[in-house]
Amino acid sequence: MTQFPSNWPYSTDNMMPFIDLKVQEKKLHSNLQEAFESLMSSGSFIMGPKVEECELALSNLSGCQALTCASGTDALMLALMAINIGPGDAVFVPSFTFAASAEVIRLLGASPVFIDCTPDTFCLDINSLTEAYDMIIRDKKLTPKSLIAVDLFGHPVEYEPLKNFCEERHLVFIGDCAQSFGATYDTKPVTSLSHIATTSFYPAKPLSCYGDGGAVFVSHDQEELLNTLKSLRIHGQGNTRYEHIRIGLTGRMDALQAAFLLVKMGIFEEEVALRQKIADRYTTGLQDLEILSLYAPKVKENCTSVWAQYTLRVNNRNAFQEHLRSYGIPTGIYYPIPTHLQIAYKDDIRAPKGLPVTENLASQVVSLPIDPYISTSVQDGVIDIIKDFYKK
């Protein structure tokens, strides 16, 4: 029997990595080592020059003022704290996302209102949002304060219509760009299109630390908001170190992570281009299969994605995953349980027509391995193995 695909290196005993961070680490090894050694000998582990340098580099990439922090979750928390979200406030949020997007709302005692998403972009559906907003106004129990929009899998939301929606209703528009740092909408960085944007540098995100990290972004004219965020990040600090003018967090990014992130930023643009090439290769390779219930993600024409995930919709997901696994190909499900169906969020408010698209997607989505360094031959093998599944 001839081997299929020829010279395929993986098997159930030798699984392909879902995200291979080792190739990148090898490529940057000496620079990372140098960054590590120089940081260790500097003795400056909290804040200091590396954090400042990192924030400057992030500001240049993001088109706004960047403030580093301890994680993507803390970034969202800082954003909500800076606009005084608390009990009695409604914050609109999609359910089809990582739980942190809604968690921060509940942590502050406010009420998340779960919104449905669209089946083609997997991002927030503005009709569902409008209906939910009108419902909150009619009910008069909560004050609508903010929207957290999520660029799921690295694909930008509809920034322009959403910003208009928020401005007309005096909602603070927060962009959760945890998966989309580096993506663009109308050629502008996604982080520059909301009132406050946040991101995460968790290791699996397109730009990542070797540990936790995150950032908040505000436009250059928002000096006061920036100062509030800075104070919140360090225990509500006032003008001097032991003066506390509000309740805050221990929300700083470690200087070591800032040093690593600076090294990684040096090749980030190149990596975004490589991710796009890999996404295109999947899309081209799999396009004939669309009739077979397999649906590739759509990125709107005025946008670019950073492909944090390459996610398909399939009807027979278990068999699809098992087929790939038998060839040593791991797949991921983001997310198997939508946030509004999680135990911790079961009593929270949902959009008036429910979240049928989200619930359907949760049973269909499956993500393929993607990182900037998958070789062409391996990727072609993955494509052939998927095609083989649909032949049966």
Please report, as ranges, the residues that interact with ligand PLP according to CB under 6 A.
71-73, 97-98, 100-101, 150, 176, 178-179, 200, 202, 212, 214
Shortest distance, position 141 Cβ to ligand PLP, whole Å: 27
Task: Compare residues 257 and 331 and give the one whose CB is closer to ligand PLP.
Answer: 257
Shortest distance, position 251 Cβ to ligand PLP, whole Å: 11
Task: Compare residues 214 and 297 and give the one whose CB is closer to ligand PLP.
Answer: 214
Shortest distance, position 214 Cβ to ligand PLP, whole Å: 5
Shortest distance, position 103 Cβ to ligand PLP, whole Å: 9
Task: Compare residues 115 and 286 and give the one whose CB is closer to ligand PLP.
Answer: 115
Strand partners, 174: 148, 196
Shortest distance, position 34 Cβ to ligand PLP, whole Å: 26
Task: Compare residues 177 and 386 and give the one whose CB is closer to ligand PLP.
Answer: 177
What kind and span of H or E run contains 28?
helix 22-42
Q: Return d(Cα 46, Cα 239) in angstroms, integer.
A: 18
Q: What is the DSSP letter of 26?
A: H
Q: Do you find a cis peptide bond into 356, omega within 30 degrees of 0? A: no
- What is the number of the residue whose Cβ is closest to ligand PLP? 72
Residue that has been written with the tokens 């997007």 in this structure: 101
Q: Return d(Cα 130, Cα 24) in angstroms, integer.
A: 43
How do beta strands 111-115 and 184-185 pair? unpaired
- Helical axes 72-82 vs 223-233, angle rounded to 10°: 120
Which residues 6+ apart lie within 8 Å of 169 measured at CB?
A: 133, 144
Residue that has been written with the tokens 């990439």 in this structure: 61
Beta strands in 161-229 (DSSP E): 172-176, 184-185, 188-189, 196-200, 214-218
Shortest distance, position 338 Cβ to ligand PLP, whole Å: 13
Task: Compare residues 72 and 251 and give the one whose CB is closer to ligand PLP.
Answer: 72
Q: Return d(Cα 178, Cα 59) in angstroms, integer.
A: 16
Task: Compare residues 100 and 132 and give the one whose CB is closer to ligand PLP.
Answer: 100
Task: Compare residues 97 and 379 and give the one whose CB is closer to ligand PLP.
Answer: 97
Six-digit token pair at 128? 């569902």
Six-digit token pair at 272? 């975004």
Using left for φ > 0, alpha for ψ between -120 and 50, and beta otherwise, residue 78 falls in alpha
Shortest distance, position 125 Cβ to ligand PLP, whole Å: 17
Shortest distance, position 179 Cβ to ligand PLP, whole Å: 5
Shortest distance, position 249 Cβ to ligand PLP, whole Å: 13
Residue that has been written with the tokens 């409008």 in this structure: 130
Q: Return d(Cα 221, Cα 212) in angstroms, integer.
A: 29
Task: Compare residues 83 and 135 and give the one whose CB is closer to ligand PLP.
Answer: 83
Residue that has been written with the tokens 């993500």 in this structure: 367
Six-digit token pair at 166? 């928020």
Task: Compare residues 48 and 211 and give the one whose CB is closer to ligand PLP.
Answer: 211
In a 3-state reduction of DSSP, which class is residue 38?
A: helix
Shortest distance, position 69 Cβ to ligand PLP, whole Å: 9
Q: Return d(Cα 23, Cα 106) in angstroms, integer.
A: 39
Q: Return d(Cα 210, Cα 21) in angstroms, integer.
A: 10
Task: Compare residues 189 and 214 and give the one whose CB is closer to ligand PLP.
Answer: 214
In a 3-state reduction of DSSP, which class is residue 111?
A: strand
